[in-house]
Amino acid sequence: MQVAIITGAGSGIGLCTAKMLHNAGMAIVGVGRDPAKLATLESEIGDPARVATLSIDVTQDDAPAQIVQLALDRFGRIDFLVNNAGAGSPKPLHETDDATLDGFLDLMLRAPFRLAREAIVHMGEGCGIVNVTSTYAVIGGRRGGAYSAAKGGLDALTKHIACDYGPQGIRANCVAPGVTMTDMVRHRFEDEMFKRVNVETTPFPRLGEVEDVASTIAFLCSPGAAFINGQTIVVDGGWTSTKYLSPRALTTTWVEAEQG
């Protein structure tokens, strides 16, 4: 039985990924900060023999050791690591203070680095790491700031892992979601500008759902992806790869932006 560690497993993409990998026959080590959300994960899967959870902040110094030890104690092995934990609502460079910068880098670059470092020594041929990055690691993105920096660094780390550990049969890939309808994002659609920037420039007739991203992660953890290594799969309905504008956007009267 294969074993997958998933961070940010209590909700959204992480929760959906845990369910899909469990349905594929894997045992799940779900990691998150909120015990109540992890309890929901356990309840919804309903298989105590193949689910272990740990409520911990992944940025803690001892978090990687605790997470890996739980996987080994409960299931005796580690086959896949999904670094999914993250945070949103970044600010542009000139509005980002050091505390915000450190927070984004700690959560979305340093923590995945340290957890991968702890886990990879227990991995072998057929194992893999999936790092959840972002379209902002692919094209930058307005107001990306520290978020873009962290996700871009994670993309580069993934390529390094793919190169250095590929000869051992260990794969590393990124999944880069576009705007996905999670609890973390949904409230941002109250901002008309955010809504337009994403809806009017996506050539698919809807935005992403957690199932779209989770199914891509699950694929990368499947035998069908056995020769995919060092890649980024973008799940965004064409947002990054096209210059699409909706009919509404093309026919909207141009309004000069206010200065200042």
Domain for residue 202, yes or no?
Answer: no
With 90 as the cut, is the pLDDT of residue 89 above it?
no
Residue 243's pLDDT is 85
Domain for residue 76, yes or no?
Answer: yes
Predicted confidence (pLDDT) per residue in 3-26, tens digit: 999 999 999 999 999 999 999 999
Cβ(161)–Cβ(172) below 8 Å? yes
Residue 195's pLDDT is 75
Domain carrying residue 25: 3-182+207-241
Strands 80-83 and 51-55: unpaired
Q: Give the CATH number, domain containing residue 94.
A: 3.40.50.720
Sign of CA dihedral 168, 172, 83, 148: positive
- 177 or 194, which is more confident? 177
Q: What is the DSSP string of 159-205?
A: HHHHHHHGGGT-EEEEEEE-SB--HHHHGGGGSHHHHHHHHTT-SSS
With 60 as the cut, is the pLDDT of residue 260 above it?
no
| Whether the predicted model's global pTM rises above the 0.75 cut | yes
Residue 249's pLDDT is 82
* Coil, strand or helix at 60: coil
Q: How far apart are CA 150 and CA 105, in angstroms?
A: 5
Domain for residue 58, yes or no?
Answer: yes
Sign of CA dihedral 142, 150, 26, 163: positive
Tokens 């990306």 belong to which residue?
Answer: 144
Q: How far apart are CA 179 and CA 142, in angstroms?
A: 13
Residue 194's pLDDT is 73
Domain for residue 68, yes or no?
Answer: yes
Domain for residue 171, yes or no?
Answer: yes
| Planar angle of CA 241, 6, 84, nearest 5 degrees | 35
Lowest mean pLDDT among 23-32, 94-103, 121-130, 182-191: 182-191
Tokens 């999904």 belong to which residue?
Answer: 82
Neighbours of 45 (CB within 10 A): 18
Domain for residue 256, yes or no?
Answer: no
Q: How many domains does the chain have?
A: 1
Residue 244's pLDDT is 86
Domain for residue 156, yes or no?
Answer: yes
Residue 255's pLDDT is 63
Phi and psi torsions of 214, nearest 5°? -60, -40
Domain for residue 246, yes or no?
Answer: no
Pick the closest to residue 109 from 131, 90, 136 (CA basis). Answer: 131
Residue 219 in tokens: 């694929």
Tell me the catalytic residues.
147
Tokens 């702890």 belong to which residue?
Answer: 118
